[in-house]
Amino acid sequence: MAYLNENYLKLQAGYLFPEVARRVREFCEANPEAAKRLIRCGIGDVTEPLPRAAIEAMKRAVEELGYSESFRGYGPEQGYEFLRSTIAQHDYRDRDIEIADDEIFISDGSKCDCGYILDILGDQNKVAVPDPVYPVYVDTNVMAGHTGPARKDGSYEGILYLPCTAENNFAPEPPKEHVDLVYLCFPNNPTGAVATREQLKNWVDYAHRHEALILFDAAYEAYINDDPHLNPLPGQGEADAKRQVRVESKIPHSIFEIPGACECAIELRSFSKNGGFTGVRCGFTVMPKSVLARTENGRRLPLHPLWQRRWSTKSNSVSYPVQRGAEALYSQEGHNQARALIDHYMGNAKRLRGAAADAGLKAFGGVNAPYIWVETPDGLTSWEMFDRMLRELNVVITPGAGFGAQGEGYFRISAFNSRQNAEEVARRLKKL
Amino acid sequence: MAYLNENYLKLQAGYLFPEVARRVREFCEANPEAAKRLIRCGIGDVTEPLPRAAIEAMKRAVEELGYSESFRGYGPEQGYEFLRSTIAQHDYRDRDIEIADDEIFISDGSKCDCGYILDILGDQNKVAVPDPVYPVYVDTNVMAGHTGPARKDGSYEGILYLPCTAENNFAPEPPKEHVDLVYLCFPNNPTGAVATREQLKNWVDYAHRHEALILFDAAYEAYINDDPHLNPLPGQGEADAKRQVRVESKIPHSIFEIPGACECAIELRSFSKNGGFTGVRCGFTVMPKSVLARTENGRRLPLHPLWQRRWSTKSNSVSYPVQRGAEALYSQEGHNQARALIDHYMGNAKRLRGAAADAGLKAFGGVNAPYIWVETPDGLTSWEMFDRMLRELNVVITPGAGFGAQGEGYFRISAFNSRQNAEEVARRLKKL
């Protein structure tokens, strides 16, 4: 009889969001009246219409497929040149980061890329992940057999967890010990924290010292608030901050802003949260040709050809109309529309963060990220808080423990919502 | 330093189609005049416009995303219910095959599914693949570490190859020895062969006897010519065939038409070749809940929950507009338009097969599949024949050796083309 991949049997319960969905469904079935006033601030899913520029581009691309002259079948497996070059130019070269077009690989989303990337890495790597963290980093490593069994608190043997706490502003320092592979995510899901240039430099230094590889998830980079008024550096007053215009002073949007990162980092980006593409599906990976990895016997080889080959053999890239839609986000019109979406969600974040504070809760994040990370009151566990919010306020949040052991005692409020819903949640929060 | 997946280093040269593309590019650069009359019958890529029903459905779906009331973000990770139920009903239950909606998993194409499916299977499985075969089956197993190194003829140690030759009508018998996992593809890429009900029954019997798992790739099922006039069973005259109307007499479209297959088979399907979706990207897997696999210590567990979990953790399914496009292929209008596409390509196949025969070549396939499988003349190797066709006829074909050692001495002509191109290739072929 065929063998199954036993690593799947190590996985705990359902994946976080299906489990949230299950509890919500049960509550709604049992409480049809309360269900009517339910507001979802759980899963980080966008709610507002797609930018018009993306819609028109996708409709044009679909229509092109209706005529012999403009029909397109299989595209390049790594993505169309028109999109790869647009990304490399706008997101990198225009910001003085030297990334070549063929170092950009188009995918059907960052979640998918998190799994795909492990295809080309060895099973021997010692892996470090922040805690709490987007569950996909850990779960894909469990599935790939890179961990031991789960412990009682849901963590897995064999992974080095990097605690992200209020004490370190949810941005962990590099560890003392050696690891081969580090996941970092800034702006962070779930805590909303950002890393300063100095903090990222420490990580790149660590990676060089240990010849480690950094997987940098920048899915939320568009939410970084580049207004220095809102982002005083540590020890810097607001007046200083306003005068501070040098590029280096800002929070990095990309790990490749840090010198030397091109030798030790791979970056994941997504159009889900800036362009509203969660249902349209498009993201990309930046794989510099200068990133090396080793064989068991010590040969050092670039990962780029392996990644190239993975896409050639295992995929035919992303739907053509979707790639045209993503391209349109880089037009002036598309950029402005995406910017308006982000401003909308960050307006929600401001209201929600304020309401949590008014309710006497200790809230983090929500300034450079669409997530507010809140301490549970009254010593409640995070799933207890989830149930209380559901029952008393009819608001769905995400329990911090779903993101890792260090997430216990916290919950995440997502700012992805209509203004009306965000304001209503803010009102209800104050009643807590 | 991070370890890489060394199995990738076992892979031979480029993946077949990029290698074909490279040779064509070099030829065209060196021969700009000849390049102008080049006709591509290499990669099996559709050429004709997308069915209008799919275009309109996709445009409507894109437009829906432009309004708050109809916007959709993340869809169900396994695909939208509207598409899963449509497929299960039309492709299976309407044909008396009991497949539940939640046994259908929507994907971004069969090529991708070939790789994904290995995620949930163990590394201990003994794998059998037909030879010649679609290269992705072998290459994904190499990447996953299920093989030894490559031999000189391009085959890999550790894989059992099932020779598909003119002697067995390119439909191999089950082997004498035990294997855990068998790939089958009918109608076949590259040979265009089909398997009779009896032949598939032999495979299902083998799978039950050996508790093996069959991965059945039915990407070309829509090309099965259900006209009994064209498909006399072995030993049956055309007159008999015309009277033969019982469903069982026809060539199976699905492995699940064979009793007992629901316990031992997984089926892969695609909209690429029936709906022209090679650039739109959509396919699906049928994973019956009754398919079991084993752990190292002998526990027998259904694969369905592992597959469900793979999708939840590693994907957010396929673009919403694409799923609406696929759904539209099942409307009466969409069905008729897809049927017309298939008739078009099969009209090409008839002409190409006829021309190859007229040129004195021995040609197979092209009756129930859009591929004609041709013996090379004059003892040429298949890559020599590739170069000769390119140079003398300015026609791109696919060398048989690219599909496996047993493909040496053959080449594949794809019928995916405009009528004008197919007729021109037919004319040129006769000059050979």
Q: Confirm or reject contact between B53 and chain A (CB < 8 A).
A: no
The four Cα atoms B74, B79, B85, B86 give a dihedral, to 10 degrees, of: 100
Residue of B314, B317, B323, B345 to mutate, interface with A, max A Cβ within 10 Å: B314
Q: Confirm or reject contact between B3 and chain A (CB < 8 A).
A: yes
Nearest to B52 among A66, A143, A212 (CB): A66
Element (H, E) at A216: strand A213-217
Q: Per-residue pLDDT averaged across A120-139, rounded?
A: 96
Indicate yes or no: CB of A314 within 8 angstroms of CB of B115. yes
DSSP A91: I
With a CB cutoff of 8 Å and minimum separation 6, the contacts of A29 are A35
CA-based nearest residue in chain A for residue B68:
A49
Indicate yes or no: CB of B295 within 8 angstroms of CB of A3. yes
Query: A179 and A210 in contact (C-beta within 8 Å)?
Result: yes
Q: What is the pLDDT of residue A239?
A: 59
Q: Per-residue pLDDT averaged across B149-157, rounded?
A: 91
The four Cα atoms B173, B174, B176, B177 give a dihedral, to 10 degrees, of: 150
DSSP A87: H
What's the CA gap between A70 and B42, in Å, rounded?
A: 20
Q: Which of A56-70, A406-420, B18-32 has the lowest mean pLDDT?
A: B18-32
Q: Per-residue pLDDT averaged across B122-150, rounded?
A: 96
pLDDT digits 0-9 by tens, A142-161: 999 999 999 988 899 999 99
Q: Per-residue pLDDT averaged across B88-95, rounded?
A: 97
Selected residues 118-137 of chain B with any CB under 8 Å from a CB in chain A:
119-125, 135-136
Is the ipTM higher than 0.90? The answer is yes
Q: Confirm or reject contact between B349 and chain A (CB < 8 A).
A: no
Q: What is the pLDDT of residue B236?
A: 56
At B248, is the pLDDT very low, low, confident or very high (cuts 50, 70, 90)? very low
Give the minimum alpha-carbon distance from A229 to chain B in angstroms, rounded to a whole number. 32
pLDDT digits 0-9 by tens, A344-399: 999 999 999 999 999 999 999 999 999 999 999 999 999 999 999 999 999 999 99
Nearest to A314 among B112, B296, B316 (CB): B112
pLDDT digits 0-9 by tens, A160-171: 999 999 999 999
Interior CA angle at B373 toward B425 and B134, to 5°? 115
Nearest to A66 among B46, B50, B303 (CB): B50
Query: B270 and B219 in contact (C-beta within 8 Å)?
Result: yes
Q: Which of A15-19, B49-53, B243-247 has the lowest mean pLDDT?
A: B243-247
Written as one letter, the residue type at A289 is: K
- Which chain B residues are within 8 Å of A49, Cβ to Cβ? 65-68, 71
Residue of A41, A62, A143, A270 to mutate, interface with B, max B Cβ within 10 Å: A62
What's the CA gap between B46 and A191, in Å, rounded?
A: 47
With a CB cutoff of 8 Å and minimum separation 6, the contacts of A9 are B295, B301
Give the minimum alpha-carbon distance from B380 to chain A in angstroms, rounded to a whole number. 28
At A233, is the pLDDT very low, low, confident or very high (cuts 50, 70, 90)? low
CA-based nearest residue in chain A for residue B281:
A319
Give the minimum alpha-carbon distance from B80 to chain A in angstroms, rounded to a whole number. 11
pLDDT digits 0-9 by tens, A41-73: 988 899 999 999 999 999 999 999 999 999 999
Q: Per-residue pLDDT averaged across B143-151, rounded?
A: 95
What's the CA gap between A136 and A219, in Å, rounded?
A: 13
What's the CA gap between A108 and A311, in Å, rounded?
A: 12
**Residues of chain A above pLDDT 70, percent:** 94
Neighbouring CB atoms inside 10 A of A253's CB total 22
Give the minimum alpha-carbon distance from A50 to chain B in angstroms, rounded to a whole number. 5
Q: What is the pLDDT of residue A153?
A: 83
Nearest to A277 by CA among B280, B57, B325, B71: B71
Residue A38: helix, strand or coil by DSSP?
coil
Q: Per-residue pLDDT averaged across B268-283, rounded?
A: 97
For CA atoms B382, B384, B385, B391, the dihedral sign is positive
Q: Which of B117-131, B194-208, B243-257 has the lowest mean pLDDT?
A: B243-257
Neighbouring CB atoms inside 10 A of B39's CB total 17
Q: What is the pLDDT of residue A236?
A: 56
Query: Could you tell me which residues are beta bridge partners of residue A163?
Result: A131
- Which chain A residues are within 8 Å of B133, Cβ to Cβ? none
Nearest to B66 among A1, A6, A55 (CB): A55
Residue of B114, B319, B323, B398 to mutate, interface with A, max A Cβ within 10 Å: B319
Nearest to A386 by CA among A14, A17, A11, A37: A17
Nearest to B3 among A71, A74, A294 (CB): A294
CA-based nearest residue in chain B for residue A15:
B313
Indicate yes or no: CB of A281 within 8 angstroms of CB of B1. no
pLDDT digits 0-9 by tens, A271-281: 999 999 999 99
Nearest to A73 among B59, B111, B279 (CB): B279
3-state secondary structure chain B: CCEECHHHHHCCCCCHHHHHHHHHHHHHHHCHHHHHCCEECCCCCCCCCCCHHHHHHHHHHHHHCCCCCCCCCCCCCCCCHHHHHHHHHHHHHHHCCCCCHHHEEEECCHHHHHHHHHHHECCCCCEEEEECCCHHHHHHHHHCCCCCCECCCCCECCEEEEECCHHHCCCCCCCCCCCCEEEEECCCCCCCCCCCHHHHHHHHHHHHHHCCEEEEECCCHHHCCCCCCCCCCCCCCHHHHHHCCCHHHCCCCCHHHCCCHHHCEEEEEECCCCCCCCCCCCEEEECCCCCEEECCCCCEEECHHHHHHHHHHHCCCCCHHHHHHHHHCCCHHHHHHHHHHHHHHHHHHHHHHHHHHHCCCCEEECCCCCEEEEECCCCCCHHHHHHHHHHHHCEECEEHHHHCHHHCCEEEEECCCCHHHHHHHHHHHHCC
**Residues of chain A above pLDDT 90, percent:** 89
Question: Does residue A89 carry a pLDDT above 80?
Answer: yes
Nearest to A46 by CA among A273, A349, A366: A273
Residue of A309, A314, A420 to mutate, interface with B, max B Cβ within 10 Å: A314
Query: B375 and B362 in contact (C-beta within 8 Å)?
Result: yes
Q: What is the pLDDT of residue A226?
A: 83
What's the CA gap between B265 and B292, in Å, rounded?
A: 10
Q: What is the pLDDT of residue A247?
A: 44
What's the CA gap between A414 and A412, in Å, rounded?
A: 6
Indicate yes or no: CB of A312 within 8 angstroms of CB of B119. no
Backbone φ and ψ for A115, nearest 5 degrees, come out as -80, -45
Q: What is the pLDDT of residue B246?
A: 42
Give the minimum alpha-carbon distance from B387 to chain A in angstroms, rounded to a whole number. 23
Q: Per-residue pLDDT averaged across B89-109, rounded?
A: 97
For CA atoms B360, B364, B369, B372, the dihedral sign is negative
Residue B123 CA, chain-centre distance (Å), reads 24
Q: How confident is the prediction for chain B on average, in pLDDT?
A: 94
Residue of A19, A63, A74 to mutate, interface with B, max B Cβ within 10 Å: A74
Query: B175 and B160 in contact (C-beta within 8 Å)?
Result: yes
Pairing of strands B213-217, B181-185: parallel
Query: B126 and B180 in contact (C-beta within 8 Å)?
Result: yes
Selected residues 231-290 of chain B with any CB under 8 Å from a CB in chain A:
276, 278-281
For CA atoms A219, A160, A299, B139, the dihedral sign is negative
Q: Which two tokens stand for residue B308?
A: 């469900």
Nearest to B55 among A65, A181, A310 (CB): A65
Interior CA angle at A213 toward A212 and A216, to 5°? 135
Q: Per-residue pLDDT averaged across B301-318, rounded?
A: 96
Q: Confirm or reject contact between A18 and chain B (CB < 8 A).
A: yes
Q: Confirm or reject contact between A102 and chain B (CB < 8 A).
A: no
Q: Which two tokens stand for residue A35?
A: 């269900």
Q: Per-residue pLDDT averaged across B333-349, rounded?
A: 97
Indicate yes or no: CB of B3 within 8 angstroms of CB of A296. yes
At B237, is the pLDDT very low, low, confident or very high (cuts 50, 70, 90)? low
Query: A225 and A367 in contact (C-beta within 8 Å)?
Result: yes
Question: Does residue A240 carry a pLDDT above 90?
Answer: no
